[in-house]
Chain A
């Protein structure tokens, strides 16, 4: 099937070339048949990519080691679920995943816009084909996943133990979905600029894709943080690593974009800014993928460098950047808007301020991330800056973002009067002040300015969100007679963008509280303990109860049971394990199972007790060195025995070898068991971190809010999607609009007595948000 896969890649590339040509011709000649044909070429490409992906994944599942990437990245002992996911642990497989996802999302975008923004679509299509063609070209000509070897090796190298984590199954597809979704509005922005149709239509149509990109990137980032948190040596849940930053930067820009496009939709303003933002987000997404694949920056996450791809990526990023700048300058006059922000006390002004802060934060992260390359270009030396360089900038910007997340929702569009300002800010400000007073009384908190500011701002935001939900529910319940719970559910379902957004604010702020608390108030301790010994940290007593060990076909485990107590009462019991996977390269009979210096791979399993107030995290650093003298003697003895057996006649060798390997296996098990029977002191790393769980809870709330905002509405009551009953419905709407303006038009639905003006229109126009 490898030749079939290769043929599919070539067919896909031809389809891309056709689609690009059809789109360009159709756009130029204004011939919808060719545009439509180009759109279908994208659907075809999605099918081709999916079939190729499935063929490759089946090869992994079936352990077909004739495929080079299967032999490099999997083995027959790799568990099933990891074999399915191992495809994207490789350069070639991850590129094919990218192509599959991108063509899928592009197909969806083109399907949803098939009857809309018809001047923009052909050029957007062409841009989509160009980008997907780039990745498919890499797969087809430079990083072919269907390369095979003959004869096929009988066994694969296996998936690295560090990647055997459930998050491995989902983290890369989430991130890649985010990156590829971010390129959809990028391409439609290109289409809008080329066609000159730069008003709000293309923004409204692609808004959901930007929100989807934000959501998937966010999920991918949080999953990566969770994975990093449970793996030793990956810097906790966030280490400001270049590859981590590479995902964070487009996410920040996307956050700014999905807020500022609301200003363009409502007021027709910020068109230059918005188109620049979305183009920047697209470039950042590409740069992010480049950082991971090229290894140009030292990162614990980056793949080993592949120079053949570096030049291609630099070229495409250059084209995207220069092309974007050129298009914006070309259309600058038509992008400019006459409208301006009327008042500083307006939602527009707050969104602009938020945008400034987010972009400033992005630029800080970009500068510090790429500074090694910048400094090398300027001074000839590669200078690396650590976390110390980030934090003086990140902390105040984070506080500003949190504060603005609370202010913007309670200020209306255009302007707010002074008395409304007072009545809307009283409760949230009061909550912030109460938080400040309470926290200042807590010992040790006042010394940490940045976390204190985050906590107080967070209290402000939470109060804002609560106020909005309470007021909205009350208004609806009064107007419809519904009970508060029903009114709340219907309020959210009919105003998904608004209330979904409030939930996102709530979730992000809660997550930031978790980050601030766990990083500023963490207690960390290293201790060397023998069984029965204890150590204290942050008021807890950690007692090494007993060692545990296990020997399986896959790995050896050396672990410990740790009891945690406080004030004499048991809090939790933790199990931490150091696992060693045998080397595939060493010939030492015993040493290959134990010695990382001989190529054995190791991984640590953290003992974690997560609670609402704190996390207790313990990891063992098991040292097998006391076994070395026995292992060395054993290696020598087994090697001598092997040599003697190989001198025997062939027909006697098989049985003797089998006996010898059984003896070897018993020796490995006995040696492993010595960890339990004759334990020696070992080192532990102990961490007690407050409020970490709220980081994950906040992320879940934010994701839920994002999903609510993203969820498409059901079609308007009583109407088909294409409004086929047209005239009668529009006449009724027009009458309702006129009645609201007091023009005296006859209305079928007189306003109920005492209802506020416009109530009739609200009742008549209560359909949920229409689908994009």
Chain B
């Protein structure tokens, strides 16, 4: 009896988990490109590199001249990432606004007689 119960519960959980995304229209997106999370990770990694170079300068591994060159390049790359992050966040906001608009429109539709 306990065994059958375990099987039933597991089956129910598995079925609910697996079919969840297929039943929800909200998840259907086709853009598999670079995400905001990817860019945030890249930004944080770049900041870490800038801090590491700073630390190398302060602990006497890098000369001022070498640090200047490396630091300049890293900062330029970080600014580029911030630009891309701006664009990605704006695109996300647009997409969400579009989805909200569709939901509002659906909720205003007259119910069927």
Contact = CB atoms under 8 A, between A and B. Distances in A.
Contacts of B51: 495, 762, 765-766
A3 B35 contact: no
Contacts of A55: 6
A566 interface: no
Interface string B3-15: 1101100110110
A30 B30 contact: yes
Contacts of A471: 59-60
A718 interface: no
Interface in B70-113: 70-72, 75-76, 78-79, 82, 85-86, 89
B35 A33 contact: no
A468 B58 CA distance: 11
A648 interface: no
B49 A266 contact: yes
Given A18-B18, A412-B62, A119 B32 contact: yes
A44 B13 contact: yes
A772 B40 CA distance: 10
B79 A44 contact: no
Contacts of A36: 20-21, 27
Nearest to B88: A726
A412 B70 CA distance: 11
Contacts of B70: 413-414
A761 B35 CA distance: 26
A34 interface: yes
Interface in B16-57: 17-22, 24, 27-38, 40-42, 44-45, 47-57
Of B37, B45, B85, which is in contact with the most chain A CB atoms at under 10 Å from its CB? B37
A417 B63 contact: yes
B3 A756 contact: no
B33 to A, nearest CB: 7
B60 to A, nearest CB: 6
Nearest to A32: B29
A424 B10 contact: no
A727 B11 contact: no
A89 B85 CA distance: 51
* Interface SS of chain A: helix
Given A472-B55, A730-B86, A761-B50, A411 B10 contact: no
A7 B27 contact: no
A410 interface: yes
A36 B4 CA distance: 29
Contacts of A11: 7, 10-11, 14
A11 B38 CA distance: 35
Nearest to A495: B55
B17 A43 contact: yes
Contact of A741 (B11, B63, B75, B85): B75
A356 B7 CA distance: 52
B50 A119 contact: no
A344 interface: no
Interface string A49-60: 001000100000
A723 interface: yes
Given A30-B32, A33-B21, A471-B60, A115 B37 contact: yes
Interface in A406-426: 410-417, 419-420, 423-424
Contact of B63 (A18, A22, A420, A730): A420
B98 to A, nearest CB: 16
Contacts of B72: 741
B47 A765 contact: yes
A316 to B, nearest CB: 26
B22 A770 contact: no
24 contacts: A1-B2, A1-B3, A7-B7, A11-B11, A30-B31, A32-B30, A44-B14, A116-B38, A116-B41, A117-B38, A201-B41, A204-B41, A266-B49, A410-B61, A411-B61, A412-B53, A417-B63, A420-B62, A723-B89, A740-B75, A761-B50, A762-B54, A765-B51, A767-B44
Interface of B: 2-4, 6-7, 10-11, 13-14, 17-22, 24, 27-38, 40-42, 44-45, 47-63, 66, 70-72, 75-76, 78-79, 82, 85-86, 89
Interface of A: 1, 3-4, 7-8, 11, 15, 18, 22, 30-34, 36-37, 40-41, 43-44, 47-48, 51, 55, 115-119, 122, 201, 204-205, 265-266, 410-417, 419-420, 423-424, 468, 471-472, 475, 479, 495, 497-498, 716, 722-723, 726-727, 730, 733-734, 737-738, 740-741, 756, 758-759, 761-762, 765-767, 769-770, 772
Sort A-B residue pairs by CB-CB distance and give the 9 closest, nearest first.
Answer: A36-B21, A4-B3, A770-B44, A118-B32, A44-B14, A115-B37, A412-B61, A471-B59, A40-B17
